[in-house]
Amino acid sequence: MRINKLTIKEAAALLEKGEITSVDLTKACFNRIKDVNGKIKACLTVCENEALREAKEADKRRARGEKGELLGIPYLAKDNIMTKGVKTTAASKILEDYIAPYDATIIKKLKEAGAVLLGKTNLDEFAHGASTENSAFGPTHNPYDLERVPGGSSGGSAAAVAADMCIFAIGTDTGGSIRYPASLCGVTGLKPTYGRASRFGLISMTSSTDVPGPITKTVEDAAIILKAIAGSDKYDATAV
């Protein structure tokens, strides 16, 4: 069984039973990234050492009796979302070497839930685009046909989920930037209602309509992620 192909629900069940570990799952995703990212170009940054540390910690938390749908689940985040200590470029040469000094609120919530960050995904520069062809670091390709676009601007996230490079991914949506690439890549994408999830730590495209949200393999998985990232935030007055 290629465990990187699992859904969140399936992976969580196997982790709970002790049939796999988070380290197993994380390594399987990294092996897949190494196999296909050169062609698809979905990932801009890969955090292998950091992710394996997080996976080991997640396994320890489970060993202590902790439970959780996202505990030990590996994911990728769009590279316009702040991730402390990890490059956040917004697919622009302007921010090519920028290291985020703090986590976006949604990243903090996923971290607390025990999700394992594998790295950051490609996008149209500063999320201005609908094909992920406008990245300063080169275009992302649709995993089903490398001659076609994956949609955008969260094309790297959608392509990564479709190619089983991660169990789920996070994108942002202003005018279709989660829904459009999810559709073109045959996965599930959800733009939550504005204010449902905090925008704090997003590099804004249009602050009055930007929304972070999940890209997943199933609708059920999207619901799991929405539950984890939703809620009020003292750093975002529009979050409810």
**CA 132/CA 147 separation, integer angstroms:** 13
Helix or strand holding residue 173 (H, E): strand 168-173
* Residues labelled catalytic: 78, 153, 177
Phi, psi of 197 (to 5 degrees): -130, 140
Bridge-based pairing of strands 188-189 and 116-121 is unpaired
Long-range pairs of 227-230 with CB within 8 A, sequence gap ≥ 24: 228/69, 228/70, 228/109, 228/110, 228/113, 228/115, 229/106, 229/109, 229/110, 229/170, 229/197, 229/198, 230/192, 230/196, 230/197
DSSP for 128-151, please give it.
Answer: --SSS---TT----BTTBTTS---
The 10 Å Cβ neighbour count of residue 63 is 10
Contacts of 223 (CB under 8 A, 6+ apart): none
As a whole number of angstroms, the distance between CA 41 and CA 18 comes to 33
